Amino acid sequence: MRFFLNRIKERLWIRPLAMCLLSTASVFLARLVDVTEISQIVPLITLSSIETLLNIIASSMLVIATFAVGSMVSAYASASSTATPRSFSLVIADDVSQNALSTFIGSFIFSIVALIALQNSYYDKAGRFVLFALTLLIFAIVIITFVSWVDRIARLGRVNGTIDKVEVATAAALQRRRLTPTLHGVPAGTHVPGGRPVYGSLIGYVQRVDINALQKYADNAAIRITVAALPGTFAAPGRVLAYVTADLGDFTDIDIGQIEKAFLIGGERKFDEDPRFGFITLSEIGSRALSPAVNDPGTAIDIIGTLIRLFALWSAPIKDNENLRIAECDRVEVPEICLRDMFDDAFTGIARDGAGAVEVMARLQKAFESLASIEHPVMRDVAICHSRLALARAESTLKIPEDIAVVRRLAKFGNKTG
């Protein structure tokens, strides 16, 4: 359900359509009060006063909605050009901007429908009063929405705002994977998977794996399934999605199509269940900032700080108020995400493109030292390995001996014991 709702948030037309339907319904529902006794106590509202307010809304909201669309498109273009195109789905799903656009369009539709109803004598005394109250309420909502949206649109699409959105999405994916390291399946062994391979027929990226569907089919078919393609894996004909092992060794009645359907494959990666995609996106933002055309090492340094926070979150022990999900699907084996791969996604690009900037390489070595000091069984070794790779890149790129000496001094933490 979360995956489905996130895809809806990436569609700009969903909320405006819902607001249009709600606005139209409110205009007609206001007529219902005319059949009640409220008309005896409400004040008389003249037709001209309501029409004046509705004409103001009708004449201004369409212009503001057009301005809102133009500002949002500019922000989306800025996010793709200054940060990375991979962040576009997060920027377009911004709740404040979508709510603002929906409010402006919904107010316009409300005013048009209400004017038509008024001019055709659709309301009596009570209906006019309710419509007048609704119009004032919409005025207040529009003003509040516009003021808050102006503050948000000034930041939407900026590099810092985009980094924050990517960090939030990556942290959410990491947190879910911390609590469900095998996606509710059982841990896959370290041995090479055996059994009958299942190949995909579609070309794209695995966006999610329905482990429950695999478990249900495995129970019915008396088989065991080993997932070979985690979310984020590129799938194509000839690439294995899973391996199947039959309890009785008979593969005759196994429907490979049922297994393939459990793998949702699309044209692009999604942040929901793919923490590595978040690290790749952050690394791309840092690499673009280090390009000669941009030359913004400060942004790369900010990215390094963000990566430290994310890896600290990943390595944090499970707290008492956090529930580690136990394996519920005992017939589905799922490999855990590899920490070394996440380090490669996060730091390789920045270390390569920032090898000529001493301030970036110094901050990178400090980051590796911080991560190596975390009490994690694997992270220290991986951090030391990347520290040595970053040092090698810096030594081959930096020209001034003093700069090289600074990076070497910071990289010596890997030689310390304990």
Distances (CA, A) of 288 to 12, 33, 124, 350: 28, 60, 63, 9
**How far apart are alpha carbons 349 and 357 in whole angstroms?**
13
pLDDT in tens, 61-85: 888 888 888 888 887 787 777 788 8
pLDDT at 192: 63
**Averaged pLDDT for residues 170-177:** 93
Torsion angles phi and psi, residue 239, rounded to 5: -95, 130
Q: How far is CA 348 from the centre of its chain?
A: 22
Q: How confident is the model at residue 403 (pLDDT cuts 50, 70, 90)?
A: very high
How many other CB atoms are found less than 10 A from the CB of residue 363? 22
Listed in sequence order, the residues at least 6 apart from 347 whose beta carbon sits closer than 8 Å to its beta carbon are 283, 307, 364, 367, 386, 390
pLDDT in tens, 206-218: 999 999 999 999 9
How many other CB atoms are found less than 10 A from the CB of residue 55? 12
Please report, as a single letter, which amino acid is at residue 37.
Answer: E
pLDDT in tens, 305-321: 999 999 999 998 877 66
Q: Tell me if 211 sits within 8 A of 183, measured CB to CB.
A: yes
pLDDT in tens, 342-357: 999 999 999 999 999 9
Task: State the chain's mean pLDDT as an integer.
Answer: 87
**Averaged pLDDT for residues 141-170:** 86
Task: Say if residue 127's pLDDT is above 50.
Answer: yes
Q: How confident is the model at residue 256 (pLDDT cuts 50, 70, 90)?
A: confident
Q: How confident is the model at residue 401 (pLDDT cuts 50, 70, 90)?
A: very high
Tell me which of 77 and 252 has the higher pLDDT. Answer: 77
Q: Tell me if 185 sits within 8 A of 327, measured CB to CB.
A: yes
**Averaged pLDDT for residues 240-264:** 85
Angle made by CA atoms 265, 92, 4, in degrees to the nearest 5: 40
pLDDT at 216: 92
**How far apart are alpha carbons 218 and 368 in whole angstroms?**
43
Task: Say if residue 180's pLDDT is above 80.
Answer: yes
Please report, as a single letter, which amino acid is at residue 75.
Answer: A
Q: How confident is the model at residue 417 (pLDDT cuts 50, 70, 90)?
A: very low
**Averaged pLDDT for residues 364-379:** 92
Q: Is residue 286 exposed (0-12), middle (13-18) or buried (19+ Cβ within 10 Å)?
A: buried
Residue of 311, 310, 290, 312 lying closest to 300 (CA atoms): 290
Classified as helix, coil or strand, 289 is helix
**How far apart are alpha carbons 215 and 222 in whole angstroms?**
10
Interhelix angle 125-153/47-78, rounded to 10 degrees, is: 20
pLDDT at 418: 40
**How far apart are alpha carbons 9 and 226 in whole angstroms?**
32
> 329-334 and 263-266 as β-strands: parallel, antiparallel, unpaired?
unpaired
Tell me which of 252 and 124 has the higher pLDDT. Answer: 124
Residue of 412, 309, 304 lying closest to 361 (CA atoms): 304
Task: Say if residue 326's pLDDT is above 70.
Answer: no
Check residue 38 and report its DSSP letter. G
pLDDT at 415: 61
pLDDT at 369: 94
Task: Say if residue 122's pLDDT is above 50.
Answer: yes
pLDDT at 392: 95
